[in-house]
Structure 1
Amino acid sequence: MGREFEIVREYETEAAPEQVWEAITTGSAGWLWPMEFEPREGGSAGGGGVVTAWDPPHRLTSRVEDPDGIGGMPQTLNVLDTVIEPRAGGAWVRYVHSGIFTGSWDDQYDGASRHTDFYLHTLRQYLTHFTGRAAVHSDVQGPEASMKPGSFAAAVRALGVDDAAEGDTVRVDLPGAGPVDAVLDFRNEHFVGLRTGDAMYRFFGRDAWGGPVGIALHRFAPDAAASRDQVQAAWKSWLDGLYA
């Protein structure tokens, strides 16, 4: 039997409301994953959903409902609502993720809540450092062995950031890119974010919720599209070797 949930976040950004709107409706590959919205109420939304509110640049709401589960997840209803208001020097944003979980409610809520914080942080990083720039997105998942609880710590050690603090500039050897200087823009026990001059690398410790360790790449360099397959394969090899 399902149980309702609601996750609410509010934040301010120096980006203009129009820039926030563009980021969530057309530039989502730069901070989340590629999503397309048919620009009208009743239009199609990413993940098989429908747009229930379309008021640029003020409000976007989408809804997905499936009694058999959404995207293979034990969730029968998923609603995403973003309200954007102008503020002096930028914008104020209110984000609400709600719906119905049908599995282990506590675990799902904890995972969704923590992922929300990481995703919205990445959005703010995009708005601050890459707004308006097109991105090439890649998603790489670790092998089954990375699903074992505690696996994420191995990825942190392999990156060489286990002794670094959030905000530090670190020297890291990135598959497909080589040694680069990166800002450790996010770090806790489940997530790590690295930002270079032309990319954001997001590391997910989903082993905490029964999933594999994963990596999302948001690359803005002019040659990012041409090198996508090569870079994605390099990261896949890195993950597979790490958990072999």
Structure 2
Amino acid sequence: MPKEFKIVHDSEIDGTPQQVFDAATLGNSGWLWPMEIEPKLGGAGPFGSTVTAWEPPHRFGNHMEGEGGFFNTLEYDISERPGGKSWLRYVHSGVFFEDWDNQYDGAAKHTAFYQHTLGQYVKYFAGRQAAFADVQGPEASKSPDAFEAVKAALGIHDAGAGGHVSVTIAGVGTVDAVVDYQDANFVGLRTHDAMYRFFGRNAFGAVVGMTIHLFAEGADAESAGAAWGAWLNGLYA
């Protein structure tokens, strides 16, 4: 039986409402994944969705529907805060068809991580597009303790959120990064010209994965993805 859900996430972002609005509608490759959004009410959105709110720089929304009562709605409500900051209320609502509790838990935790990443993007890379790669681990990374291997290889246990890590990746070189996010299921690393996001989706029945967001001019996301993919696969060989 389908069952509706609603996830609400509030956050203060170090950037103007226009920067936040642009990140949500134009700069997606920098913090989420590349997507095209037609900039008008009723415009075409990703995955067959439709733009249901277009009031820059304060409101953006899109909505999609499918068979069996499926729908998915995203809403961004952005207000100005003193000191060049913004307050973002993000609402994600829709339908899950099975395993509701686990899917809701996973979606809520992903939301917190993605919205944090949006804030990092606006603060450090606002207005810049990224070379993007999505890397998925092998089937062995579905095991209950699989994400711990990622943390250990990154040296996260010693660093913690706000700390620093240094990891050498064959084909990439040494990555010196700030740990901008860390919990049981997610890790975020940020350098002066890149963000790396690690997803412990093994907790939700999927494989461990990561996304790469490279802001340096001429960055090669394909080769970076291949190099990090080899590293990730090597953890479970």
Q: Same fold (TM over 0.5)?
A: yes
> Where does structure 1 differ by over 4 angstroms across 4 or more consecutive aligned residues?
none
Moved more, 79-88 or 108-117: 79-88
* Rounded Cα–Cα distance in structure 1 between residues aligned with 2:20 and 2:152: 34
TM-score by length of 2: 0.95
> For residue 233 of structure 2, what is the aligned residue in structure 1?
240
1:78 aligned to 2:72?
Answer: yes
* 1:171-190 superposed matches below 5 A: 171-190=166-185
Shift of 1:170: 2.0
Amino acid of the structure 2 residue aligned with 1:37: I
> For residue 61 of structure 1, what is the aligned residue in structure 2?
61
* Rounded Cα–Cα distance in structure 2 between residues aligned with 1:175 and 1:37: 36
Shift of 1:223: 2.1
**Residue 213 of structure 1: which of 208, 213, 226 is its match?**
208
Shift of 1:233: 0.8
> For residue 71 of structure 1, what is the aligned residue in structure 2?
none
1:3 aligned to 2:3?
Answer: yes
Shift of 1:217: 0.4
2:154–2:166 CA contact under 8 A, matched in 1:
no
> For residue 96 of structure 2, what is the aligned residue in structure 1?
101
Amino acid of the structure 2 residue aligned with 1:35: M
Shift of 1:43: 1.2
1:77–1:101 CA contact under 8 A, matched in 2:
no
Superposed CA offset, 1:204-243 (max 9, x none):
000000001001001101121xx22211111111122211
Identity, % of aligned positions: 53
1:10–1:93 CA contact under 8 A, matched in 2:
yes
Amino acid of the structure 1 residue aligned with 2:142: M
Q: 1:190 to 1:175 in 2, by over 3 A?
A: farther
Please tell me the root mean square deviation across aligned C-alpha atoms, in Å: 1.4
1:149–1:210 CA contact under 8 A, matched in 2:
no
Shift of 1:175: 4.7
1:88 aligned to 2:109?
Answer: no
**Residue 126 of structure 2: which of 106, 119, 131 is its match?**
131
* 1:129-168 superposed matches below 5 A: 129-168=124-163
Superposed CA offset, 1:75-131 (max 9, x none):
922110001112222221110000111110000000000000000011111111111
* Rounded Cα–Cα distance in structure 2 between residues aligned with 1:198 and 1:64: 34
* Rounded Cα–Cα distance in structure 1 between residues aligned with 2:114 and 2:168: 24
* Rounded Cα–Cα distance in structure 2 between residues aligned with 1:220 and 1:119: 18
More helix by share: 2
Superposed CA offset, 1:36-58 (max 9, x none):
11112221111221111111111
> For residue 170 of structure 1, what is the aligned residue in structure 2?
165
* Rounded Cα–Cα distance in structure 2 between residues aligned with 1:239 and 1:57: 39
1:175–1:231 CA contact under 8 A, matched in 2:
no
Amino acid of the structure 2 residue aligned with 1:168: G
Q: 1:159 to 1:14 in 2, by over 3 A?
A: closer
Shift of 1:18: 0.7
Return 5+ residue gaps in structure 2 as ranges: none
Shift of 1:15: 0.7
* Rounded Cα–Cα distance in structure 2 between residues aligned with 1:164 and 1:200: 17
Return 5+ residue gaps in structure 1 as ranges: 69-74
* Rounded Cα–Cα distance in structure 2 between residues aligned with 1:243 and 1:190: 17
> For residue 52 of structure 2, what is the aligned residue in structure 1?
52
Report how many aligned residue pairs link the two structures: 236
1:19 aligned to 2:14?
Answer: no
1:168–1:184 CA contact under 8 A, matched in 2:
yes
Superposed CA offset, 1:132-186 (max 9, x none):
1221111000111111222111111112222221101222224543123210110
